[in-house]
Structure 1
Amino acid sequence: MYRKNCERCGRPSFSSSEAGTWHCPVCGNDLTNYPFFDAETLEKLIILQKWRTQVYDKNHRVLK
């Protein structure tokens, strides 16, 4: 379980996924780029991006 702390309202937010957007459930602040913490130990975690979005052209070649 992951935790992020909202700097706007000061409340914690919890999730079981590191992928996708993350918004504070209290004030709606975008927490996507905030650091991850372990929900139990509050230790800062480094999450390696496992999912990468790729854009393809009409011939199915990767553009970026």
Structure 2
Amino acid sequence: MYMKTCQRCKKIAYGSCEFISWSCPSCSEDLTGGKAFVATSFKEQDVDMRKKRMKIYLTRCTIDKVV
């Protein structure tokens, strides 16, 4: 699933295809030329953030043991 942000009203529009005709559901602005991003759920973002934190923590622990 993809998402684009409307430049006029700043709301997010979602779609299943990156290369289709898009319009904002709130203000009907044409979003076809805008950049599409892959939409992720908050759960996916939370898991990614936990993995990054764990990687940083493990890296710090390894550096502390070496020094």
Q: Please indicate the TM-score interval, normalised by the length of the shorter structure.
A: 0.5 to 0.7
Q: Which has the higher helix share?
A: 2
Number of residue equivalences: 41
TM-score normalised per structure 2: 0.57
Q: Alignment RMSD, CA only? A: 1.3
1:28-56: CA deviations, max 9, x gaps?
Answer: 00000000111117xxxxxxxxxxxxxxx
* The structure with more radius of gyration: 2
TM-score normalised per structure 1: 0.59
Q: Which has the higher strand share?
A: 1
Aligned match of 2:21: 21
Q: Structure 1 unaligned segments of length 5 or more: list them.
A: 42-64
Aligned match of 2:38: 38
**Percent of paired sites with the same residue:** 41
